[in-house]
Each structure stands twice: as structure tokens, then as C-alpha cells.
A and B are shown apart, each in its own frame.
Chain A
Amino acid sequence: MQQARSKPNAVLLVLMLVGVVAWLTLPAISVAPNRIVPGTPQRAQEALGWGVALLATVPMLGVATLAWRPFTWHLRAALVLVVGLLAAMPLWLSGVAATLEAASRLGLGSALWLLLFLWLLALIELRARLALSRPLGWALLLPVLLAWWVCLMQWLAPLALYREYQVRSDQFVGAIGQHLALVGSAVGAALLLGVCLALAMRRRAGVRRVGFGILNFLQTIPSIALFGLLLAPLAWLASRVEWLAALGVSGIGWAPAWLALLGYSLLPMVRNTFVALEEVDPAVIEAARGMGMSQRQVFLQVRLPLALPVVLEGIRITTVQAIGLTAVAALIGAGGLGTFIFQGLGQAAMDLVLLGALPIIALALMVDALLSALADWLRQGGTT
């Protein structure tokens, strides 16, 4: 057992060595006297001195050393170190913040972003090697999030990202709400419509050909173009139909965004539902019919439950895709987190862009994790 595992874990080794090099050579932070002036980049050793900078490389080298002989307990120790590293980053930043003047703004430099990325990859690798369960994997992030939260509350006021948030905390919550509402309603409608379409396609080859043709075509239109295409007809509709206008439908805003999202969501939804239903083992269906189940019973008790994990996979893909697309929809005034991204781009304020982008990534990851877990749970019924 130990013999078999004693080959060095190359993934961890590379991640950590790249991390050390990045930490010592790339700018770790940038400091600006105010919001408009671009910050001056600083490397780690310039910010808090060589001592601290070198000290920070110790855990990374430690993980690399442990990864050289990856026994189970070595990997466990490495896991603790990586979680520690992730939790220590806000503390180090707090130390930097303490040296700054009150009005200055602290931005994260490329080294820190890269390190965050590398350490999270290391965490994923360790989770897989140690075969930790999904909930345990998430629990590992708790101390990290706690550390960030405490530091933000206490010492990290100069962090530019946090400043941007503070100025707009109400807007921020509203934007998340809008974002989720758009995604949720569009994906929900796509699910309903998609299932109906998939069922109709199973019935008739004609519907299948035409349906997939249209959906595939929709998918190839770039999202911006689709928003543009929807502008004129919706504006026309709103001017003709009063209650639609009263609902807030117009050429721009949530209505075209919602329609476009629906359009893009339909293809993955229909395709997955259709394939899921079609690919149920024909022998199982034959047996179900042969045993004397009615068509309805075959569908509800056999075909549908066996297709469900794949349908769920479709919902997952669609939702993650819609979360990203909704960001673009901010361009036509649909609201949501994309608003910050485009405002930030307009003002050349990168931190504002991040304020929009980071939650979008987090949302996508969360939805992905939740729906994967649900699919796993469904599969436990023995369908594997």
C-alpha cells in the first residue's frame, strides 16, 4: 500500500513550486492613494519585508516535501497546511493594511490571485487523493471563509474590493437578487418548456428535426446579437400591447434578457432530457411493457426515474451557463451582477469589475456543486 503510493505527487509539487516562484517574483499587491490613480504594484518582500515573505514560503515548501512521499498521513498534513495557507492570506493582507495611510486603497496583485488559484487546485487534488466526501471538502473551506470574514470586518477596510462593496452594499444585494431571479425564472421556464419539447420530439420525428434545427441555430447567434435582434420586436410589442408595457416589457431591460436566456437554455435542456429519455436501456423498457405496465406506468415508474440524473445534468449545465450569460445581459439594462462589471470597465476600476465577477464565479461554482451532489444522491438508488 505504502509502496504503491510512494511515487512523488507531481501535481502538488508543481503547484507549490510555481506558487513559491510567483510569490517572490510577481507583484503581490498594488497600493493607490485614491480610487482614480492606478496603484503601484509591490512584491511581497517590498510590502512586509523579506522575513515575512520567506516565512510564507515555508508551508508551501512543506507541502512540496510531503508530496514527495505521498503517504496518507503526509497528504493529511499537506491538507492542513494548504487550508492554513488559504486562511493566512487575509491575515498577511491585514498586516499590509496596517502599514497604509487611511485613504489609500489596497488591491490584490497577480501573485495573490495566482496563489489563491494554485492553493484551491491543491485543495481539490488533496480532496481527490484522500477520497474525502463532498460535504467534508466544503467544510474544509469554512475556516478559510471565517478568516477572510473576520479580517474584512476588522482590518481590511483599505482593500479596494471591499471599499467598492461598502459604497454599494444595498445595490450589491439587489444585484444578486436580480441575477438569481433572472437565471431562476429563465431556467425554470426552459425546464418546463424543454421537457414538453423533448416529449413532443420523442413522439414525432418531424418535431425532432425542426426543433433541434431551430435550437441549434439559436445557439450559434452571439448573445449580444440576440439581445439586439430582440430589441425591435419587443419595443414594438410593448407599444402595442398595454399590459405588456405595464409589466415593464420594453426593447431593453429584463424582457429581452429573459427571452435570450430562455432561448440559450432550451438547447442543452431539451438535448439532455431527450437523450436521457431515449437512452434508457431498451431491455428494461421491453421488460416493463412485457410485465404489463401501462404506457403511463412505464414512463413514470421506469423511464423518467432512470433518466432523471441525466436530466439533472442538463439543468446543471444550463444553470451554470445562464449565470454567466446574465452577466452580459447587464449591457441592455437587465440588471444583475453584470452591472458592476460594465460600470467598472467604463470607469477603468478593476476592483468594481471584480465585485461583479467574483460573485458570479462563486454562484456558478455553488450551483454546480449543489446540483452535482443532488445527481449523486439520486444515483445512489442503484442506477450506476
Chain B
Amino acid sequence: MIELFDVTKRFGEEVAVDAISLRVQKGELCVLVGTSGCGKSTTLRMINRLIEHSDGEIHLDGQPVRTFDEVTLRRRIGYVIQNTGLFPHWTVARNIGLVPRLLKWPRAQVRERVETLMALLGLPIEEFAAKYPHQLSGGQAQRVGVARALAADPEILLMDEPFGALDPITREALQHELLDLQARLHKTIVFVTHDMDEALALADRLVVMRQGRIVQQGPPLELLHEPVDDFVASMLGGDARGLKEAALTRVRDRMLPLGPRLLAHERVAVDVPLNQALSLMLWHRVDRLTVVDDDDIPIGELSLRRLVGSKA
């Protein structure tokens, strides 16, 4: 668990982070969003003490971070940054094994751990272990970055725009992988992004920042439905919020069992989000879709009325 109590950071005269309070529960994925320069990275880096906070307290599991030795502290916290920060003179395997080696794990155990992580992140060992970072694509490098952060099995993961430099398709793939990982590993994650779709897709708790302050925080749907002011509303997509919300709900949650009526001709998979279902209706100019399961077998139906109808 990460707790920030009235944490302030001043760079000289400038206040980069202004008395923010935040609690990230164990196993929670907390996403920080906000305009550029609002203090997201600074907040993240105060947690692992790359930057020392000026005022307030930061606690990990109830202990002030200042009471830890900073090097020991950082080895317990995974850290992923936008430009990966992989060591260009080390191979992929050596990069991933960095923290376990710093912690003086036995050699065999380090190797085993590296292999496990490469498998976990879909990096075939024979192909990638001996490669150097400059031989990787952006997506592969970012996977290596995540693997390196996870290497010593830290409870906490800090991710600063980790997928920011990737194309939308790779980014989405990595988001899904992160959610899968999170479902299995239950880390406590603080994630910074500029991409509102990414934020909504990942967040258990969404934190909107502006000029060093937290304007609003809570579950994504809560922020979508009840933004405290125009700034939060526009951050969350303004008039496009309806579609953003639809992206958070699956067809499964709105469909009705198959009725006596004839099956609609156009089909939609049960696991896709509602915004896609809506798009299909717009595209085919229909107001009814047949919902099918993974094997393409009809299991229900979704009507436009249902789709727009009652709130979840």
C-alpha cells in the first residue's frame, strides 16, 4: 500500500507538486493523468525517492519512505519509463537480471528468473536473450523494460508513460498484457499516461492532476459520470465521454437472452466493449445484433435500446 499525505515538492520557487494526498491499496492499479507539467512524473519519482519530497509524508505499508535506505527501497520497487532506459551495452538477459544480481541472488536463480520473465512477457529466450537493446523494436524493448522491473518480484510497480512511444496497436496489446499480468500478480501499480483511453482501460483508480494538485480521484466510471468541474470533464473526453464510458462496458453486461424473435443478421462477439457494438450498428445501419460466443454460436442479442438504455 502506498500513501501520500499532503506531499509537496518545490523546485526552488516553483511548486511542482502541491500538497497531494493519495492512497493506493495493495493490488490496485492507480493511473495518474493530467496536462503536461502538472507533476505526474515528479509524484512517481518521489515514491522511489529519485526525488526527495519537500513536505508531507510518503508511506509504504505504513512506513515512511525516508526511513528506508534509498537504494534498498528502489530495489523493492519496479520502475518503467517511457524510453525504456535499457542499458545499451548489456544484452536483454543481462538487463532483465539487473535487480536480482544487485540483490546478490545466486547465479542459477537469476538465470531461472530471467527465463521465467521472458516467457511471461512473450520474449522467446533463444531469439532474444543474447540481443542488444538496439536490435529490438519499440514494443519488444518496452516488454524487456517491464520484465526488468518485475525481475525481483517487487510489490510495487511505478510506470511513467511506459507505452507512450508505441503505435496504437502495440500499445493496446501491451495494455492487455499488463492487465493479464496484473490479474495474476496483483501488484500495486502507479501508472502515468497521457492517453485517456489507456487510462480508462487500465485504471482501478483514476487520478486527475492539474498544476501540482489532484483535482479528482476515484473509479473511472465515477469520474466519467460525475466530473467535479469542466477541466475533469474535458480531460475525460468532453462530449465523447459517452463513447469512453461505452468502452468500459462489455456486451456481456447488456445483452438479453435469445428471444422468440428471428436472429439478427449481423453478429457481435460477447467480449467486445459496447462502443464497438455501437460502431457495428452504425456501420451496418441496424438496431439489433446477435451476440455470439468464442465459437461463433449465438447466445443472446443486443438491441440499440438496451445499449443506450439504463446505466450500468
Contact = CB atoms under 8 A, between A and B. Distances in A.
Interface string B118-144: 000000000000001111000000000
Contacts of B83: 281, 283
Contacts of B45: 290
B84 interface: yes
Contacts of A33: none
A305 B94 CA distance: 15
A297 B90 CA distance: 14
A382 interface: yes
Contact of A284 (B72, B73, B87, B148): B87
- If over half of A's interface residues share one DSSP class (helix, strand or loop), that class is named, otherwise mixed; here it is helix
Interface stretch (B13-21, B74-82, B218-226): B74-82
A291 B98 contact: yes
A25 interface: no
Contacts of A302: 87
A292 interface: yes
A287 interface: yes
Contacts of B305: none
A304 to B, nearest CB: 10
A292 B74 contact: yes
Interface residues of B, number: 32
Nearest to A381: B89
A283 B84 contact: yes
Nearest to B132: A382
A305 B71 CA distance: 21
B86 interface: yes
Interface string B46-82: 0010100000000000000000000111111001011
B242 interface: no
Contact of B84 (A287, A294, A306, A383): A287
Interface of A: 281, 283-284, 286-294, 297, 302, 305-306, 381-384
Contacts of A294: 71
25 contacts: A281-B85, A283-B83, A283-B84, A283-B85, A286-B50, A290-B45, A290-B74, A290-B81, A290-B85, A290-B158, A291-B79, A291-B149, A292-B71, A292-B73, A292-B74, A292-B102, A293-B71, A293-B98, A293-B102, A302-B87, A306-B89, A381-B132, A382-B88, A382-B132, A383-B88
A320 B90 CA distance: 31
A284 B72 CA distance: 19
Contacts of B89: 305-306, 381-383
B85 A288 contact: yes
A286 B74 contact: no
Contact of A292 (B86, B87, B90, B99): B99
A291 B148 contact: yes
Contacts of A382: 88-91, 132-135
B236 to A, nearest CB: 30
Interface string B9-31: 00000000000000000000000
Interface string B98-112: 110010000000000
A383 B45 CA distance: 27
B84 A290 contact: no
Nearest to A378: B89
A284 B85 contact: yes
A287 B85 contact: yes
A291 B71 CA distance: 8
Contacts of B81: 283, 286-287, 290
A294 B72 CA distance: 9
B88 A284 contact: yes
B88 A306 contact: yes
Contacts of A384: 134
Q: Which 9 A-B pairs have the closest CB atoms?
A: A287-B85, A382-B132, A292-B75, A292-B74, A290-B79, A283-B83, A283-B85, A381-B89, A383-B88
Contact of B86 (A284, A293, A305): A284
A293 to B, nearest CB: 6
Contacts of B74: 289-292
A294 to B, nearest CB: 5
A287 B45 CA distance: 11
Nearest to A302: B87
A281 B88 CA distance: 10
A284 B84 CA distance: 8
B138 to A, nearest CB: 14
Given A305-B89, A306-B89, A382-B134, A289 B84 contact: no
Contacts of B91: 382
Interface string B246-260: 000000000000000
Contacts of B132: 381-382
A334 B45 CA distance: 58
A279 to B, nearest CB: 13
A208 to B, nearest CB: 21
Nearest to B103: A292
A291 B148 CA distance: 9
Interface string B154-193: 0000100000000000000000000000000000000000
